[in-house]
Amino acid sequence: MDFQKWGLVEPSKFDIGFCSGGCNRDSLGIGCAEHTALMALLSENNTNIGVPQCAPIEYGPMAVMYVQANGNHVAKKVNKMSVRRCDCR
């Protein structure tokens, strides 16, 4: 994707991360929410109930530089721009 079309100058390449996939009962961590554990258990016996999904739970900032409509360059730290951790939800 060409982010320069949107005025983004830096970084030219970056990995914002992502979370994907379903979570069965065996993949749940010790601190998972009771709702998540119950949904995983129920989904094993009922195909109408979807399994919990892997989703972001912690994000990190990213420094960017972009060009405003008036031509000014702006450097800025954008919070919650990259995925740091995933968990089942």
Q: Can you list the domains of the chain with their CATH numbers?
A: 3-88 (2.10.90.10)
DSSP letter for 16, please. -
- CA angle at 82 for the pair 77 and 83, rounded to the nearest 5°: 145
With a pLDDT cut of 90, the percent of the chain lying above it is: 37
Task: Sheet containing 54-67: give its strands across.
Answer: 8-10, 54-67, 73-88
- How much is the average pLDDT of 32-59? 86
- Please give the model's pTM, rounded to 2 decimal places: 0.69
Class of residue 81 by CB neighbours under 10 A (exposed 0-12, middle 13-18, buried 19+): middle
| C-alpha atoms less than 13 angstroms from C-alpha of 16 in its C-beta half-sphere | 11
- pLDDT score for 17: 93
